[in-house]
Amino acid sequence: MQDTSARETSAKSRHGILAAQGIEALTRSGAILPDTPYAADQIQPASLDLRLGAKVYRVRTSFLPGTRTVAACIEAFVLHAMDLTEGAVLETGCVYIAELQEHLALPADLAASANPKSSTGRIDVFTRVITDRGAAFDQVEAGYHGPLYAEISPRTFPVKVRTGSRLSQIRFRRGEPRLSDADLAGLHAVSPLVDAPAPTFQGGIGVSIDLSGFSGLVGYRARRHTGLVDVDAPGAHRTADFWEPLGADASRALILDPGQFYILASKEAVQVPPDYAAEMVPFDPLVGEFRVHYAGFFDPGFGFAAAGGSGARAVLEVRSRDVPFLLEDGQIVGRLVYERMIERPATLYGTGAGSNYQAQGLKLSKHFA
């Protein structure tokens, strides 16, 4: 019995999210096959940015491949193809499928999941990764061998992309490393995950909305009929051309208009300890008919004081579904789930390149001056 227990404990200890050095090892072993060498900041502490390839296809419908390849689905639904080597504009209200430069040949015990990058979610570009014969978006089955594609659908702003643009990121996972609510409560007691006086633990840790104001603002509402956003041009766009600031008022409430896109922030400061990674649950029907987060990954070190992140808030990309919805200050709008890392990343979020949102408050994407 003791030997069995020891083996189970040892196996569980190998469960977790791969850190940057593990992603590098996967690449050296041929489990990740990039078409071209990685960019200098492409590997993050617990994820890999995925790059657009040479072509993107406008298709007439979103789809899941099921028993088919993505290429076969593109052939069935394509309206036209565009060359990305010189750049292309993706229009709002359209669905596109882009080839990605990274291919996978995963070992049988390793799976992956994908999410939009923070900068992608904050400009309301709905992006999901799909695989050949995939039955779910943003999920890569253990042992998958094949190409990766991105479904891209700009919702508010038209965007310019090109070969090498990075809209999505992928995490590699062995086993079931998610912390239970009891584990979360224990970790929070040792290393506070949020600065709430009495956080709730129910399928993750509750995150609430702050409508009291950040220097007089509670958030931003996206303007309609704007110019395009170049996803590879940080700081090149005037905030006033794309966003309407929302001032704080005595009601500490906000009615979400259906179809409108908002940038808001959490009331809690969030912390991800170095040996863990976190993800925001993007939609919880128990708290309302709205989506609170497109880009859900939080890397080890986010909000961690030793990595310069003290006081970091979760910025929320919010869109109401179908009907107006009232948000009130302090209302729980989402949950953070935490997972164990297999090993601590060599570089934490906030201490290396690409840490654009460390110690953030209410903050738009890096594209806006």
* Tokens at 281, concatenated: 């649950």
pLDDT at 67 over 70: yes
Beta bridge partner(s), residue 340? 276
Cα–Cα nearest to 361, from 213, 195, 167, 188: 213
Looking at residue 6, what is its pLDDT? 39
Superfamily of domain 2-174 in CATH is: Deoxyuridine triphosphatase (dUTPase) (2.70.40.10)
CA angle 225-231-236, nearest 5°?
A: 80
Over the stretch 270-302, which tens digit does the pLDDT of each residue have? 999 999 999 987 556 666 666 766 668 999 999
Confidence at residue 358, expressed as pLDDT on a 0 to 100 scale: 84
Establish whether domains 2-174 and 181-340 are of one fold: yes
Among candidate residues 215, 212, 243, the one with its CA nearest the CA of residue 227: 243
Q: Can you tell me whether residue 69 is helix, strand or coil?
A: coil
Angle in degrees, CA 121, 122, 127, rounded to 5: 20
> Picking from 76-80, 193-197, 246-250, 351-355, which range would have the lowest pLDDT averaged per residue?
351-355
pTM attached to this predicted model: 0.92
Q: Is the pLDDT of residue 324 over 60?
A: yes
Q: How many CA atoms lie within 13 A of 368 on its CB side?
A: 19
Nearest to 105 by CA among 30, 22, 175, 16: 30
Length of the chain measured in residues: 369
Q: Sign of torsion, CA 78 81 84 87? A: negative
- The per-residue DSSP string of 273-327 comes to -TTEEEEE-S--TTT-SEE--S--EE-TTTT-GGGT-TTPEEEEEEEE-SS-EEE
pLDDT band, very low/low/confident/very high, at 2 (cuts 50, 70, 90)? very low
**In the predicted structure, residue 247 carries a pLDDT above the cut 50:** yes
Alpha-carbon gap, residue 267 to 213, rounded angstroms: 10
**Sequence-ordered list of residues with C-beta below 8 angstroms from that of 356, at least 6 positions apart, any chain:** 118, 119, 234, 366
Would the pLDDT of 190 be above 80? yes
Portion of the chain with pLDDT greater than 70, in percent: 92
Strands, sheet with 313-320, edge to edge from the N-terminal-most edge strand? 243-247, 217-222, 261-269, 313-320, 290-291
31 within 8 A of 110, measured Cβ to Cβ: yes
Domain ranges of the chain: 2-174, 181-340
pLDDT, tens digit, 9 for 90 and up, residues 234-244: 999 999 999 99
pLDDT-based confidence at residue 334 (cuts at 50, 70, 90): confident
- Structural class in CATH, domain 181-340: mainly beta
End-to-end CA distance of the chain: 62
Average the pLDDT over each of 91-100, 130-139, 323-332 and give the range with the smallest value.
323-332
Helices (H), the chain: 2-13, 20-29, 70-77, 118-121, 181-190, 239-242
pLDDT of 207 over the 60 cut: yes
Predicted confidence band at 333 (pLDDT cuts at 50, 70, 90)? confident
Tell me how far apart the alpha carbons of residues 219 and 226 are, in angstroms, rounded to a whole number: 19
> What residue type is assigned to position 209 of the chain?
I
Instruction: Give the torsion sign (CA, 212, 215, 216, 220).
Output: negative
pLDDT average, residue stretch 13-30? 94
The whole-angstrom separation of Cα 59 and Cα 90 is 12
Q: Tell me the pairing of strands 111-116 and 217-222.
A: unpaired
Residue the block writes with tokens 């310019």: 160
Mean pLDDT of the chain: 91
